């Protein structure tokens, strides 16, 4: 749900869709581009796909799905989920799609972040609040630097399942099924915990309900009001470098709000007191996703109501696979995770399957390559997409291409490597004349020590002190804010270069550090 109003079970009336013909709107890039025509009025008949139904994915080969020992119990659980209310609503997903369409043409920036994998054990209000608060802080920093809307999307309220490179795990000669996320099995290394349990799907749904309820309250109940920007600092960040930088920026926001009030401009307008916030997760457990798919009564379109946005991962994006088959028929905004292994022609084909009408905001391409591969591979993908006339939002995931094993045996990521990949992402888009549309991060509001580096240096020796992740290492709040300041400066410099009166070589007096 985009948390800016009261949600109703009946999906709201769809907004008027803008025509994206080449004559009316072009991607503002430096190269000549002929966009594919897009229907000015996409009716339910236009966007329905032939031979598709919410269950048609079962005719395709499915990767990364668990094998349940009791299919009858699984079917009973899925029937129960089908009877439950939707977690999000069609109109909210359409609103997100409109915002992402702006990011595709450089008029907005996507901030997508949250846990690697949500867990049952760490489900509590404090953890939800702290992650939400860090995203709010990062949003303020990015908005101030970019001077454009920041689309805030959480990896929350459904990001449970995780793909595995190996279906089995071996420890001390004992071989057991891999841990696939709390909605499937347990992380304890014993035979009983690793058996897939359908009842965990019910618990995941209920936890998502609780998370969404709290997020809605935070987003619309005054907690997210701009007047509170100076109160959002986490205690363990407050007296450190990133906290000091944030408080300096918050004071500037407070001064601006004071000026507005003195000029007679009210600060009690809803836009100042509430924010739009959406949820997302990887589309992995197809039976669960199908069970929460609903047909919108106002448009006749199908939406996966487990989240506003879903993405297909590197291991499940086969053109003829079950996950792509499912995603092609739902109308949510979709993401595609792309590594250096992606062939440019295959990417174009995948975009054609998932977005045959070339609808703006429908597709977000999330690149995860590592800095060196980014500079080599990303230009080829951008050129292929441009040559095909496709409208996509380009986003960087600088986390997954930079996972290493520490000497102690724990997985970690280097903050410097993450920053280097983001620098490469922006450099390539500057080079290609395309738009860096957003960032996708695994991060938390907890004071963890899972990624090494940052201004408050976390070393290999520190990892064991607060290493809480159930899966992959996450940025902590201080590291997340530091990265937000670096991105904000890059966006600010891009804005200044394009502004009239800005001359190359003009001295930059900003206190914000760039990459």
pLDDT digits (tens, 9 = 90+) for 240-284: 666 677 677 767 776 666 656 666 666 666 666 788 999 999 999
DSSP state of 151: E
Residue 81 has pLDDT above 80, yes or no: yes
pLDDT of 3 > 60? The answer is: no
- Tens of pLDDT, residue by residue over 6-57, are 333 333 333 333 333 333 333 333 343 444 443 333 333 334 577 999 999 9
Instruction: Answer with the residue of higher pLDDT: 479 or 28.
Output: 479
d(CA 360, CA 362): 6
Let me know: does 359 contact 336? Beta carbons within 8 Å.
no
Q: What percentage of the chain exceeds 70 in pLDDT?
A: 80
**pLDDT-based confidence at residue 496 (cuts at 50, 70, 90):** confident
Segment 127-156 mean pLDDT? 93
What's the predicted TM-score (pTM) here?
Answer: 0.86
Greater confidence (327 vs 226) lies with 327
- What's the CA gap between 19 and 16, in Å, rounded? 9
In this prediction, residue 152 carries a pLDDT of 98
| Strand partners of residue 312 | 336
Q: 438, 364 in Cβ contact below 8 A?
A: yes
Task: Identify the pLDDT of residue 17.
Answer: 32
Q: Average pLDDT over the chain, rounded to whole?
A: 85
For position 446, what pLDDT does the model report? 87
Residues contacting 242, CB < 8 A, separation 6+: 455, 456, 477, 478, 481, 482, 485
Mapping DSSP onto H, E and C, the string for 197-248 reads CCHHHHHHHHHHHHHHHHHHHHHHCCCCCHHHHHHCCCCCCCCCHHHHHHHH
pLDDT tens for each residue of 289-330: 999 999 999 999 999 999 999 999 999 999 999 999 999 999
Residue 224's pLDDT band (cuts 50, 70, 90)? confident
- Write out the H or E segment, with its range, that includes residue 256: helix 241-262
Task: Tell me the per-residue pLDDT of 147-194, one tens digit each, with 9 for 90 and over.
Answer: 999 999 999 999 999 999 999 999 999 999 999 999 999 999 999 999
Sign of CA dihedral 447, 449, 454, 456: positive
pLDDT at 294: 98
- The pLDDT > 90 percentage for the chain reads 66
pLDDT of the residue at 257? 63
Contact of 348 with 386, CB cutoff 8 Å: no
Look at 271-280, 342-351, 443-452 and tell me which has the smallest mean pLDDT: 271-280
Question: Do residues 151 and 52 make contact, with C-beta atoms less than 8 angstroms apart?
Answer: no
Residue 226's pLDDT is what? 65
Residue of 120, 119, 101, 103 lying closest to 111 (CA atoms): 103
DSSP string for residues in 348-368:
HHHHHHH-TT--TTSEEEEE-
Q: How far apart are CA 57 and CA 316, in angstroms?
A: 12
Q: Please determine, for residue 137, whether its predicted confidence score (pLDDT) is greater than 70.
A: yes
Structure confidence at residue 465 (pLDDT): 84
* Three-class DSSP category at 251: helix
Say which residue, 409 or 102, is predicted with more confidence.
Answer: 102
- What is the C-alpha to C-alpha distance for residues 122 and 139, in angstroms, rounded to an integer? 24
What confidence score (pLDDT) does residue 65 get? 97
Q: Distances in Å between the alpha carbon of 390 and those of 21, 54, 65?
A: 12, 26, 31
Instruction: With cut-offs at 50, 70 and 90, classify the pLDDT of residue 388.
Output: very high
Q: Over 90: is that where the pLDDT of 206 sits?
A: yes
Positions of E strands within 48-198: 109-114, 150-155, 168-171, 174-177
């Amino acid at each position: 749900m985009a948390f800016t109003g009261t949600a109703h079970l009946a999906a709201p009336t769809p907004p008027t869709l803008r025509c994206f013909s080449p004559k009316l709107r072009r991607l503002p890039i430096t190269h000549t581009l002929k966009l594919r025509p897009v229907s000015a009025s996409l009716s339910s008949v236009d966007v329905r796909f032939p031979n598709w139904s919410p269950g048609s994915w079962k005719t395709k080969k499915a990767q990364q799905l668990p094998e349940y020992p009791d299919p009858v119990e699984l079917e009973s659980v899925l029937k129960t989920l089908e009877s439950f209310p939707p977690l999000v609503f069609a109109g909210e997903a359409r609103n997100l799609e409109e915002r992402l369409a702006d990011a595709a043409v450089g008029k907005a920036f996507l901030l997508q972040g949250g846990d690697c994998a949500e867990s049952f054990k760490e489900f509590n209000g404090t953890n939800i609040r702290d992650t939400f608060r860090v995203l709010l802080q990062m949003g303020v920093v990015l908005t101030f630097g970019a001077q454009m809307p920041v689309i805030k999307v959480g990896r929350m309220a459904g990001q449970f399942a995780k793909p595995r490179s190996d279906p089995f795990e071996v420890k001390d000669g004992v071989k057991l099924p891999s841990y696939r996320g709390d909605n499937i099995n347990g992380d304890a290394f014993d035979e009983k915990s690793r058996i897939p349990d359908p009842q965990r799907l019910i618990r995941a749904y209920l936890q998502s309900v609780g998370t969404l309820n709290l997020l809605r309250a935070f987003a619309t109940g005054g907690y997210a009001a701009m007047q509170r920007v100076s109160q959002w600092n986490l205690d363990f960040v407050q007296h450190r470098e990133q906290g000091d930088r944030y408080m300096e920026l918050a004071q500037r926001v407070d001064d601006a709000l004071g000026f507005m009030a003195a000029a007679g401009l009210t600060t009690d307008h809803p836009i100042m007191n509430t924010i739009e916030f959406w949820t997302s997760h990887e589309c992995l457990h197809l039976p669960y996703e199908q069970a929460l798919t609903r047909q919108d009564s106002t448009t006749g379109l199908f939406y996966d109501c487990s989240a506003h946005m879903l993405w297909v991962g590197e291991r499940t994006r086969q053109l003829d696979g079950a996950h792509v088959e499912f995603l092609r028929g739902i109308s949510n905004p979709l993401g595609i995770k792309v590594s250096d292994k992606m062939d440019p022609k295959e990417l174009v084909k995948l975009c054609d399957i998932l977005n045959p009408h070339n609808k703006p905001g429908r597709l977000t391409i999330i690149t995860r390559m590592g800095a060196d591969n980014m500079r080599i591979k990303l230009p080829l993908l951008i050129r292929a997409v441009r040559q095909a006339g496709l409208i996509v939002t380009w986003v960087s995931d600088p986390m997954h291409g930079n996972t290493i094993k520490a000497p102690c045996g724990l997985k970690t990521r280097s903050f410097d490597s993450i920053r280097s990949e983001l620098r490469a992402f922006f450099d390539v888009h500057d080079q290609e004349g395309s738009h860096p549309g957003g960032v996708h991060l695994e991060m938390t509001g907890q004071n963890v020590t899972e990624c090494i580096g940052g201004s408050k240096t976390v070393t290999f020796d520190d990892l064991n002190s607060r290493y809480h992740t159930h899966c992959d290492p996450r940025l902590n709040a201080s590291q997340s804010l530091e990265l937000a300041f670096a991105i904000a400066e890059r966006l600010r410099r891009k804005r200044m270069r394009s502004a009239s009166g800005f001359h190359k070589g003009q001295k930059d007096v900003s206190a914000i550090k760039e990459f």
